């Protein structure tokens, strides 16, 4: 392991450098909006000056000119403004933070700010201060359309600069790790392999240069292809075993590993067999209970497969014929595929058979041989059980293939080979030149997929993760093992526990049972992977400097190994997760959560607790919620209280209770409000342990905490759609009856929530 790889974990803490700071309390002045830039400049000057000073032995006194960027008081902490954090990580995050809304500078309308598209609007625009919640509370909300948030009729509201979602943030961090130059001089170290894989993916010039050549080589290794005129007729069993074992391709049925839900106390993983993911678009017909090729999608589908045949060099004379036969076989196979709801109704899922029984049910496939290849080197025998999810399809598939094999030449086994080769192309086309990717892309657009294409770097991170997830998990983990993460999680969990203790419970038993469960769970970090095991997993991987295609084949072999390891469970499966999850009696906090800009050990704690702390509290509440909401009466009354605050501010007092929230919306309001309270309490506890906490962009302590919260409250997480107002409004509810806020949230136009009770 390269020792320099952990360098980022110990970024120099420049906070400890002496900056002659005039305490703000002694020199009251107005907050300066661009004071932060000054801090950046000062640090640069400071660095330059240090070098200079070393040379000429001069002092640092010229820095005395620098003034504290802030004079804001915290009511709760009316001490002097703490020192500004000027660590590299702080400097980086300050830009983002300066775009966040400060709830205390515009208390009259800050909560009408809208969570905007990330990057869509920079800076702050003044809102008109109009009220805009609708009767249903949902109709006017931003809508999820084609997987992308679309702003509806709120274009005149102020948009909050939104952080990218957490998955993107994790990918950005991994990108940073992979793009670091370090380790380049130790080729074939494990980290070098991951970096080189990523780099070969980014090297589009080289990918374009190779064209379809690498794929044609693979076809040769598979015995050729009748459509290209060279074919040493191989039997379908051996080709299929190769595709499943070495190329991660499952043309006729899909194979995966999982537990049997019908055996609750048995954690044994089973091989499971399902219908495949068909390339041909089909629609389900309820009457005949079959799937039919979708008429409107046929043209784009046919033209894309024709395009693929052209790109692979199939001669014009036989192209149309091969394509037509391919389509005929595809639609015939797909006939017996059926949607999940139908299979649930007819009890098709998790049907247990032995491999021997499967062989008699669907004789054309050499099941034992294929499964042995898929899970090499595991010992698999005919008496082992597998779980089927669509037996009628499997039987039909076997019959169809037998029937086609009886036809002569290209008509029969040739078409079966075409079908397998185009399935393989589907697995490998992302590794080929842009003509292949564009063809696939055009088809997916024609079929109605409106999602934007990932930028190249993100696509490459995703493909790198596929083979190197364990290693990347470990690299991320190396950079996040801090005392500070443990403190954050510890404070948060104990604050959550005491919050749950104080809830209004429906009865004593339910209170005790929930608290017992919460106590029985231990918060834990994702464990480090055993270095020996890591080395074993990656030692045989040969990464090429210039061939992305060759590297993708290596990645498929890695994925085969990982599939096999699902039986021995030697690696944590959710290694790239971004939210806490339950595993036995532990709550696991994955390393990928603790990365900038959401977390850094050098950040002021207020930033970490108000941002990531709030998000984690939200995650934990949702994780424990199935137990909580039925047991406690709290969510309803708290949500009603918060909602009446909102109504009274936006509509005036007379309208309280005019609209009501659906139960799921109430629950979400409660979750978010409670999460904010829990995180704030955890921060207060941490302040009691260590009073020092740095400032950033002139903000500190609770003020910085609440600003950090406002920024992450726009996080597009799964339950976000249930929130009937912008979560930043919760700041005014918290401040209504608390001395924790830096200033009273008053405004000339109307009183903000003052007359109401605290929630
Ligand atoms: C937004 O502002 C523009 C110009 O100020 C105005 O013409 C338009 O009607 C406004 N739209 C809404 C929805 O208020
Ligand atoms: C594949 O192997 C199975 C089992 O040995 C056999 O029954 C079947 O006929 C073979 N299929 C072909 C097409 O050769
Ligand atoms: C994809 O679609 C675009 C726009 O319709 C077209 O210009 C392009 O030639 C198509 N590419 C391929 C490879 O089919």
Crossing angle of helices 236-246 and 413-428, in 10° steps, is 10
Our answer on whether the CB atom of 236 is closer than 6 Å to any ligand 2 atom is yes
pLDDT of residue 561: 92
Choose one of 396, 431, 466: the last residue of a domain.
431
Specify whether 141 is located in the same domain as 278.
no
DSSP at 639 = H
Our answer on whether the CB atom of 235 is closer than 6 Å to any ligand 2 atom is yes
Specify whether 241 is located in the same domain as 151.
no
CB 280 within 8 A of CB 301: yes
Specify whether 297 is located in the same domain as 383.
yes
Structure token pair of residue 372: 């042995």
pLDDT of residue 78: 47
Query: What CA–CA distance (Å, rounded) separates 409 from 25?
Result: 90
Q: How open is the CA angle 677-679-681, to the nearest 5 degrees? A: 65
The bound ligand whose nearest atom lies closest to the alpha carbon of 307 is 3
Residue nearest to atom 2 of ligand 2 (CA): 366
Specify whether 141 is located in the same domain as 284.
no
Our answer on whether the CB atom of 153 is closer than 6 Å to any ligand 1 atom is yes
Residue nearest to atom 6 of ligand 3 (CA): 442
Domain count, the chain: 2
Choose one of 431, 450, 479: the last residue of a domain.
431
From residue 690, how far is each of 82, 569, 700 by CA, in Å? 13, 41, 14
The string of DSSP codes covering 522-546 is EEEEPPPPPHHHHHHHHTT----SS
Structure token pair of residue 161: 């600069």
The bound ligand whose nearest atom lies closest to the alpha carbon of 416 is 2
Q: Measuring CA to CA, which residue among 15, 143, 194, 84 is closest to residue 555?
A: 194
Specify whether 368 is located in the same domain as 289.
yes
Structure token pair of residue 621: 């509440």
Specify whether 154 is located in the same domain as 230.
no
The CATH number of the domain holding residue 399 is 1.10.1380.10
Residue nearest to atom 2 of ligand 3 (CA): 442
Specify whether 233 is located in the same domain as 129.
no
CA-405 nearest atom, ligand 2: 13
Q: Measuring CA to CA, which residue among 574, 614, 710, 617 is closest to residue 111?
A: 710
In a domain, 16, yes or no: no
In a domain, 592, yes or no: no
Task: Give just the sign of the alpha carbon dihedral 601, 619, 120, 97.
Answer: negative
CA-435 nearest atom, ligand 3: 13
Specify whether 150 is located in the same domain as 258.
no
Q: Number of helices and strands (H, E) in the chain? A: 26, 15
Q: Measuring CA to CA, which residue among 732, 737, 740 is closest to residue 645?
A: 732
- In DSSP terms, 385 is beta-bridged to 354
CB 578 within 8 A of CB 590: yes
Query: What CA–CA distance (Å, rounded) separates 670 from 636?
Result: 8
pLDDT of residue 646: 81
In a domain, 475, yes or no: no
As for ligand 3, residues whose beta carbon falls within 6 Å of it are: 307, 435, 438-439, 442
The bound ligand whose nearest atom lies closest to the alpha carbon of 433 is 3
Roughly how many angstroms between the first and final C-alpha of the chain, as a whole number?
Answer: 52
In a domain, 651, yes or no: yes
Residue nearest to atom 10 of ligand 1 (CA): 156
Q: What is the largest CA-CA distance in the chain?
A: 95
Q: Measuring CA to CA, which residue among 401, 398, 417 is closest to residue 409?
A: 417
pLDDT of residue 172: 92
Specify whether 276 is located in the same domain as 143.
no
Q: Give backbone dihedrals phi and psi of 386, rounded to 5 degrees, phi first.
A: -125, 160
Query: What CA–CA distance (Å, rounded) separates 456 from 474?
Result: 24
**Helical ranges in 267-315 per DSSP H:** 295-311
Which bin fits 217, alpha (ψ -120 to 50), beta or left (φ > 0)?
alpha
In a domain, 80, yes or no: no
Specify whether 235 is located in the same domain as 151.
no
Long-range pairs for 285-290: beta carbons < 8 A, 24 or more residues apart = 289/338, 289/342, 290/335, 290/336, 290/338
Structure token pair of residue 239: 């080709």
pLDDT of residue 62: 32
Give residue 256 CA to ligand 2 midpoint distance, Å.
Answer: 22
Give residue 155 CA to ligand 1 midpoint distance, Å.
Answer: 8
Peptide bond into 274 cis (omega under 30): no
**Structural domain of residue 403, as residue ranges?**
212-431
DSSP at 505 = B
pLDDT of residue 127: 31
In a domain, 58, yes or no: no
- Tell me the pTM: 0.77
Return the C-alpha torsion angle 357, 362, 366, 368, nearest 10.
-30
Our answer on whether the CB atom of 366 is closer than 6 Å to any ligand 2 atom is yes
The string of DSSP codes covering 357-382 is HHHHHSTTS-HHHHHHHHTTTS---T
Choose one of 431, 466, 481: the last residue of a domain.
431
Specify whether 152 is located in the same domain as 224.
no
The enclosing H or E element of 561 equals helix 548-565
The bound ligand whose nearest atom lies closest to the alpha carbon of 156 is 1
From residue 676, how far is each of 205, 681, 702 by CA, in Å? 49, 9, 12
In a domain, 191, yes or no: no
Residue nearest to atom 2 of ligand 1 (CA): 156
**Would strands 270-274 and 143-145 be described as parallel, antiparallel, or unpaired?**
unpaired
CA-156 nearest atom, ligand 1: 1
In a domain, 637, yes or no: yes
Give residue 235 CA to ligand 2 midpoint distance, Å.
Answer: 8
Which bin fits 409, alpha (ψ -120 to 50), beta or left (φ > 0)?
left
pLDDT of residue 41: 52
Give residue 218 CA to ligand 2 midpoint distance, Å.
Answer: 23
Residue nearest to atom 12 of ligand 3 (CA): 439
Query: What CA–CA distance (Å, rounded) separates 481 from 299?
Result: 54
CB 695 within 8 A of CB 82: yes
Q: How open is the CA angle 299-300-302, to the nearest 5 degrees? A: 65
Task: Give just the sign of the alpha carbon dihedral 575, 578, 580, 582.
Answer: negative
Specify whether 284 is located in the same domain as 139.
no
Side-chain-side CA neighbours of 373 within 13 Å: the count stands at 18
Which mean pLDDT values do the consecutive 10-residue runs of the chain (759 residues) have? 35 32 36 45 50 42 31 43 91 85 68 46 30 32 30 41 81 92 73 94 96 96 91 89 97 94 84 96 92 90 97 95 96 96 95 98 98 96 97 98 88 94 97 96 92 94 94 88 89 94 84 87 87 90 94 96 84 82 90 91 96 96 82 84 80 57 89 95 95 91 92 83 84 80 65 57
Query: What CA–CA distance (Å, rounded) separates 127 from 115?
Result: 13
Side-chain-side CA neighbours of 147 within 13 Å: the count stands at 8
Residue nearest to atom 3 of ligand 3 (CA): 442
């Amino acid at each position: 392991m390269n020792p320099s790889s952990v360098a980022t974990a110990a970024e120099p803490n420049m906070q400890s450098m002496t900056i002659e700071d005039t305490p703000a309390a002694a020199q009251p002045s107005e907050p300066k909006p661009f004071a932060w830039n000054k801090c950046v400049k000062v640090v640069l000057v400071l660095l330059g000056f240090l070098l200079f000073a070393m040379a000429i032995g001069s002092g640092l006194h010229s820095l005395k000119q620098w003034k504290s960027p802030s004079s804001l008081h915290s009511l709760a902490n009316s001490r002097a403004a703490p020192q500004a954090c000027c660590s590299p990580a702080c400097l980086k995050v300050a830009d983002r933070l300066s775009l966040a809304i400060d709830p205390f500078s515009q208390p009259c309308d800050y909560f009408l700010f809208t969570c905007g598209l990330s990057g869509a609007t920079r800076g702050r625009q003044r809102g008109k201060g109009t009220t805009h919640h609708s009767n249903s509370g949902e109709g006017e909300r931003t809508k999820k359309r084609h997987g992308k948030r679309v702003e509806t009729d709120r274009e005149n509201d102020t948009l909050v600069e939104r952080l990218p979602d957490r998955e993107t943030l994790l990918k950005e961090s991994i990108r940073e790790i992979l793009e670091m130059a370090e380790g380049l001089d130790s080729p074939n170290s494990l980290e070098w392999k991951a970096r080189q894989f990523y780099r070969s993916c980014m090297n589009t010039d080289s990918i374009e240069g190779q064209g379809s050549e690498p794929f044609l080589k693979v076809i040769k290794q598979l015995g050729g292809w009748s459509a290209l005129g060279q074919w040493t007729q191989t039997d379908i069993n051996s080709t299929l075993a190769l595709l499943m074992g070495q190329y991660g391709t499952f043309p006729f049925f899909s194979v995966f590993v999982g537990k049997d839900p019908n055996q609750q106390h048995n954690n044994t993983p089973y091989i499971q067999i399902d219908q495949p993911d068909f390339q041909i678009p089909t629609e389900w017909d309820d009457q005949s209970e079959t799937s039919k090729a979708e008429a409107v999608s046929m043209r784009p589908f046919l033209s894309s497969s024709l395009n693929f045949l052209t790109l692979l060099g199939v001669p014009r004379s036989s192209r149309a014929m091969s394509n037509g036969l391919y389509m005929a076989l595809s639609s015939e196979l797909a006939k017996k595929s059926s949607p999940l709801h139908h299979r649930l109704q007819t009890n098709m899922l998790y049907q247990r058979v032995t491999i021997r029984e499967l062989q008699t049910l669907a004789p054309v496939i050499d099941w034992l041989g294929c499964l042995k290849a898929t899970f090499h080197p595991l010992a698999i025998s005919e008496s082992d059980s597998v779980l089927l999810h669509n037996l009628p399809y499997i039987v039909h598939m076997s019959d169809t293939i037998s029937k086609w094999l009886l036809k002569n030449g290209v008509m029969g086994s040739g078409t079966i080979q075409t079908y397998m080769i185009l399935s393989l192309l589907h697995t490998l086309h992302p590794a080929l030149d842009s003509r292949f990717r564009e063809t696939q892309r055009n088809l997916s657009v024609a079929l109605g997929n409106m999602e934007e294409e990932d930028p190249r770097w993100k696509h490459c991170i995703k493909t790198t993760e596929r083979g190197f997830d364990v290693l990347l998990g470990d690299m991320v983990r190396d950079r996040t093992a801090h005392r500070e993460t443990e403190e954050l999680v510890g404070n948060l969990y104990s604050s959550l526990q005491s919050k749950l203790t104080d809830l209004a419970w429906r009865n004593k038993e339910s209170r005790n049972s929930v608290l017992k469960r919460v106590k029985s769970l231990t918060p834990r970090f994702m464990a480090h992977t055993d270095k020996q095991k890591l080395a074993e997993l990656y030692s045989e991987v040969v990464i090429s400097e210039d061939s992305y295609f060759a590297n993708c084949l290596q990645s498929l072999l890695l994925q085969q190994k990982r599939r096999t390891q699902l039986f021995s469970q030697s690696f944590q499966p959710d290694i790239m997760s971004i939210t806490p999850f339950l595993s036995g009696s532990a709550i696991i906090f994955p390393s990928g959560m603790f990365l900038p800009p959401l977390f850094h050990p050098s950040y002021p704690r207020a930033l970490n607790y108000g941002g990531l702390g709030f998000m984690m509290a939200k995650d934990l509440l949702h994780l424990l919620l199935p137990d909580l909401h039925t047991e406690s009466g709290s969510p309803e009354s708290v949500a009603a209280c918060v909602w009446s605050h909102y109504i009274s501010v936006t509509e005036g007092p007379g309208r309280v209770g005019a609209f009501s929230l659906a139960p799921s919306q109430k629950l979400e309001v409660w979750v978010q409000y409670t999460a904010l309270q829990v995180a704030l309490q955890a921060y207060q506890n941490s302040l009691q342990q260590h009073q020092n906490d740095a400032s950033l962009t002139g903000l500190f302590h609770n003020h910085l905490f609440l600003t950090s919260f406002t920024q992450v409250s726009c996080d597009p997480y799964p339950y976000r759609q249930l929130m009937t107002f912008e979560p930043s409004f919760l700041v005014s509810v918290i401040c209504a009856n608390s001395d924790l806020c830096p200033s009273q949230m008053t405004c000339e136009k109307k009183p903000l929530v003052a007359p109401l009770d605290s929630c």
